[in-house]
Amino acid sequence: MYALACMYLAWAHAETNLGLDRRGRLLYLAREWRTTADACGGDWKATELNDPPQLLKFMAGLAVENAALAGGSGDPSEPSCPDVDVFLALLAANSVELLQESHDPALLRAELLRQAESAGYWHPTNGIRQLTPELFVQDLLEDNPSAALWAREARWWVLPDALQEELQLLDAFDPVPFGCNSI
Alpha-carbon span 114 to 123, nearest angstrom: 9
Q: Quick one: 86 and 160 in the same domain?
A: yes
CA distances from 146 to 27, 33, 106, 151 (A): 19, 28, 23, 9
Q: Is 128 within a domain?
A: yes
Yes or no: say if 30 and 9 are a contact pair by the CB < 8 Å rule: yes
Q: pLDDT value at position 81?
A: 54
Is residue 79 over pLDDT 50? no
Is residue 140 over pLDDT 70? yes
Q: Is 181 within a domain?
A: no
Alpha-carbon span 93 to 88, nearest angstrom: 8
Alpha-carbon span 122 to 35, nearest angstrom: 30
Q: Percentage of the chain with pLDDT > 90?
A: 8
Q: Quick one: 100 and 26 in the same domain?
A: no
Q: Quick one: 34 and 105 in the same domain?
A: no
What range defines the domain where residue 39 resides? Answer: 2-43+53-69
Who contacts 93 (Cβ-Cβ below 8 Å, separation ≥6)?
160
Q: Quick one: 98 and 167 in the same domain?
A: yes
Q: Quick one: 124 and 168 in the same domain?
A: yes
Q: With 0-12 CB in 10 A as exposed, 13-18 as middle and 19+ as buried, what is 146?
A: middle
Q: Quick one: 30 and 108 in the same domain?
A: no
Q: For the chain, what is the mean pLDDT?
A: 76
CA distances from 62 to 13, 22, 31, 69 (A): 25, 21, 12, 11
Q: What is the pLDDT of residues 82-118, one digit of tens each?
A: 577 788 888 888 899 999 999 999 999 999 998 888 8
Most confident of the ranges 19-23, 72-76, 108-112, 161-165: 108-112
* Most distant CA atoms of the chain, gap in Å: 65
Alpha-carbon span 55 to 131, nearest angstrom: 52
Q: Is 77 within a domain?
A: no
Q: Is 182 within a domain?
A: no
Q: Quick one: 61 and 10 in the same domain?
A: yes
Q: Quick one: 163 and 122 in the same domain?
A: yes
Q: Quick one: 64 and 90 in the same domain?
A: no
Who contacts 46 (Cβ-Cβ below 8 Å, separation ≥6)?
55
